[in-house]
Structure formats: structure tokens, C-alpha cells
Amino acid sequence: MKSVYKLTPSLHECIWGGKRLSVYGKGKTEGPLGESWELSFVPGSEALADGKKVTDLFEKSTWGRACERFEAFPVLTKFIDAADKLSVQVHPSDAYALENEGQYGKTEMWYVIDAEEGAGIYMGLREESTPERFAEAVGDGSVEDLLNFKQVKAGEVYFIPSGTIHAIGKGVLIFEIQQNSTLTYRLYDYMRRDAKGNLRELHVEKAMKVSKLEKYLPSVPDPADPEVIGKCEYFTSRLLKLRSEGRELVADESFISLTCTAGEGVIDGEKFSAGDSFFMPAGGGRVEIFGNCDVIAVAVEESNA
């Protein structure tokens, strides 16, 4: 087995998607391209490595000892191009999802790559709300008035624990690292219709059961380890800012997922540029990476447990 594999993503058309992912070499789709799933073990939407599905090529033994506690691969990473607003949504916790859906919930984080002037995200509530007041706002279409809106710019990071009501606003391009789950409850979707002319499905009753209705408080980065931009049980994300100097990476206790968000460089003798992603299986040896670029490295640390 090689030390590092270049990934071919799974592309997803979305009603709110755009055209900016083509800049990152993500190919073309008939409709608007909303998401490029860089590292995906999701059945039917697997990323490829050496022309093979990652689920076939990377058995659990290659995930690393830190992942032994997981039944399924723990992480899903993706680029998201929001040419229009995404739905107002929420993801349940593991406890609720396992009991009611037979699958895991979702905690995630966003790294902002680019944003149009004035563009932003909705993250939690501006002030604490009662279930009755929030349900009324969902029903009459005024839910955005209760949400905490923040204009964003490139390089900012936002951590979204399960239960946090959120939405990506129009004109934002992000890289998302998330728990490996596709479970989403839509609260509000601006009365949009799908390709067949039908209103998109909402999940208001379930969403109300899992939504946190207190005022949103942003997470605070760890000053002791400034490279870490997000951390939870399922992943630790690090922003590697390489400026000509080399860096040695070792996938020992965990796999390492690498995605270049800006610039260009060389990894294990192979050139890469913004938009390229790689997978280092655990136990695969040491890899040298260098260049003038920003790379997000994702792994599972035993301290996450």
C-alpha cells in the first residue's frame, strides 16, 4: 500500500449550487454544482483513489488505532459552493439519531475559502427563544429574524455542534469537515421547488425536538495549539500554512486526509494545487509535503475520545 493517494471526489448537483467549484478542477455537471465530496465513504457517493472506491481500497485496518472505536469511517469532507442560500437546518446528536433514525448524527465545521461582499452565514439564535415562538417563526417564514447572522471572510472558521440551527448564505464558498453522516433536518427552505416542481421536504417536527434554542456562543480556539481549527470526537482539523519550507507527515495512530485550499505544492513527489485532496492510510509511512499553500489536514486523535 502506498503512503499517499490522490482522491477523485463525488460531485453533487444542488438547487442552490453554482459554478465556482470548476475553478478547483471539479469537472462539470448538467445542473448547478453545489458540493464536491473530497473524502467520502458514503455508500453510492464514494470518493475514488487509484480508480477504486475508498470503501474497497481502505479497510478498517488502514484507518488507524484511534479509529478502532468507530463502526463506520468517521469523517466526510467537502467543498460547498453556495450560489444561493442553503436551507435553514439542524443536525441531531448521535443519541437522538441512533434511537430514531438508526444512524449517527452530525457535528461539523466550516472553513471559509471565499465570500462575496456582505455574504455570511446563519449560526444559532441571536437570543434565547421559546419553542412556541420559534415554531411560530418557522411557520410564518420569519425564522431568519431570530437567527444569528454573521458576515464572513476568507480564513474564518466556524464550529457547528449537533443541535445548532444554521445555514450557509448566498455567495459563500467553504470547505466543510463533518462527522460522516448525511442526516439533515430542514426547518425552512424559502418555498423552493425541486426539479419536478415540488416543494422540498421539510422536517420541522423532528428539527424542533433537536434544536438548541439558547443564544449562540461561538467556540474559542485553543491557544496552546494554534494549528488546530476544529476538534471533536470524530476529527481534529489542522490548518497547515506551508511557505516554501517542507513538512514531514506521519499517519501513525490515524489516517490523515489532506485538502489544499489555496496555493500549490508537492507531496511525496507529486505536484498539487488548490482543490486537490489526498488520503494517507495509517501505517503507510512518512510523507514529505512542501510548497506555498494552505492545506487542511484531518485526522482522529486518541485524545478526541
d(CA 77, CA 91): 16
Q: Which pLDDT does position 249 carry in this prediction? A: 96
Q: Which pLDDT does position 303 carry in this prediction? A: 66
Every domain of the chain and the residues it spans: 5-210, 228-304
d(CA 30, CA 118): 29
d(CA 124, CA 165): 5
Question: Class assignment of domain 5-210?
Answer: mainly beta
Per residue in 56-93, pLDDT (tens digit) is 999 999 999 999 999 999 999 999 999 999 999 999 99
Q: What residues are labeled active site?
A: 186
Per residue in 170-202, pLDDT (tens digit) is 999 999 999 999 999 999 998 888 778 888 899
**Mean pLDDT in consecutive groups of 10 residues from the start of the chain, 305 residues:** 96 94 82 95 97 97 96 97 96 95 94 97 96 93 94 96 97 97 94 84 94 89 86 96 91 97 96 97 94 97 69
Residue 265 neighbours by CB distance under 10 Å: 22
Provide the b/e sequence for 228-246 (b: ≥16 CB within 10 Å).
ebbbbebbbbbbbebeeee
Q: Which pLDDT does position 221 carry in this prediction? A: 75
Q: What DSSP designation does 215 have?
A: B
- In the chain, the N- to C-terminal Cα span, in Å, equals 28
- Between the CA of residue 13 and those of 37, 68, 110, 182, 238, what are the distances in Å? 11, 33, 20, 15, 28
pTM of the predicted structure, to 2 decimals: 0.95
Q: Which pLDDT does position 246 carry in this prediction? A: 87
Are the folds of 5-210 and 228-304 the same? yes
Please say whether the structural domain 228-304 has been given the CATH code 2.60.120.10. Answer: yes
Cell of 155: 480564513
**What order of strands is seen across the sheet that includes strand 88-90?**
147-151, 120-125, 166-168, 88-90, 185-188
